[in-house]
Chains A and B, each alone.
Chain A
Amino acid sequence: GIQVEQSPPDLILQEGANSTLRCNFSDSVNNLQWFHQNPWGQLINLFYIPSGTKQNGRLSATTVATERYSLLYISSSQTTDSGVYFCAVSTGGGNKLTFGTGTQLKVEL
């Protein structure tokens, strides 16, 4: 099956710093989503981005489908950005999402 790797596995930032999270995948995809799992465990949709670039406030994402990677940019980080960021992809029918192992982000004051 498709492999999804995320880096870095852990990241500690000072409030106000910028960061880039990476997701590499091993096959063509028809769905790529970024999620934020907050400290209470809730999975929050950030982006649906199988290709191209999108922005939502301080967050933006870029997927280069031909090179099989996606990047999530967080600018001016805040403590509320803390949690785990997951990339998930699907390929073929059924829309079965395969999740990466996540990036654990901690933003400190």
Chain B
Amino acid sequence: DTAVSQTPKYLVTQMGNDKSIKCEQNLGHDTMYWYKQDSKKFLKIMFSYNNKELIINETVPNRFSPKSPDKAHLNLHINSLELGDSAVYFCASSQAGVQTQYFGPGTRLLVL
């Protein structure tokens, strides 16, 4: 059973398009995260939700909008995609009071 899953795994799109990435966890965790890994493999947090409430919102363009319909899902919608948005986006989850974060397989986004 996959603990943290993401769809799609690969996404190739044109500049200016709008796209969404979905994340689901079946670990029963109440906190979920989005991280971005750039071409130099540097990983940086973007957002975090706890029980559907936004608790971390790093300096990210407002073209990026996370949505958490329930505590098992955290989606990332990106408007007006730019070349610089090309990266690998990782979803992660953890349980409040237990620090360990578990990561999904990543979504490789390429903007042409």
Using a CB–CB cutoff of 8 Å, the interface residues on chain A facing chain B are 30-31, 33, 35, 37, 41-43, 45, 48, 50, 84, 86, 88, 90, 94-99, 101-102
A45 engages B90 (CB within 8 Å):
no
Say how far A84's CB is from chain B's closest CB, in angstroms: 6
Nearest residue (CB) in A for B50 is A94
A33 engages B56 (CB within 8 Å):
no
Knowing A41-B105, A94-B55, the reply to whether A88 touches B43 (Cβ < 8 A) is yes
- Other 15 A-B pairs with CB < 8 A, given A84-B41, A95-B94, A98-B45: A30-B99, A31-B99, A31-B100, A33-B100, A35-B103, A41-B88, A43-B103, A45-B102, A50-B99, A86-B43, A90-B99, A95-B48, A95-B99, A96-B48, A97-B33
Among all A-B residue pairs, the 9 with the closest Cβ atoms: A31-B99, A43-B103, A99-B43, A48-B100, A94-B56, A96-B45, A96-B56, A41-B106, A42-B105
Main secondary structure of the interface of B (DSSP, over half): strand
Instruction: Offer 17 A-B interface pairs, CB within 8 angstroms, sorted by A.
Output: A30-B99, A33-B100, A33-B101, A35-B103, A41-B106, A42-B103, A43-B103, A43-B106, A45-B102, A50-B99, A84-B41, A94-B48, A95-B99, A95-B101, A96-B48, A96-B56, A101-B41
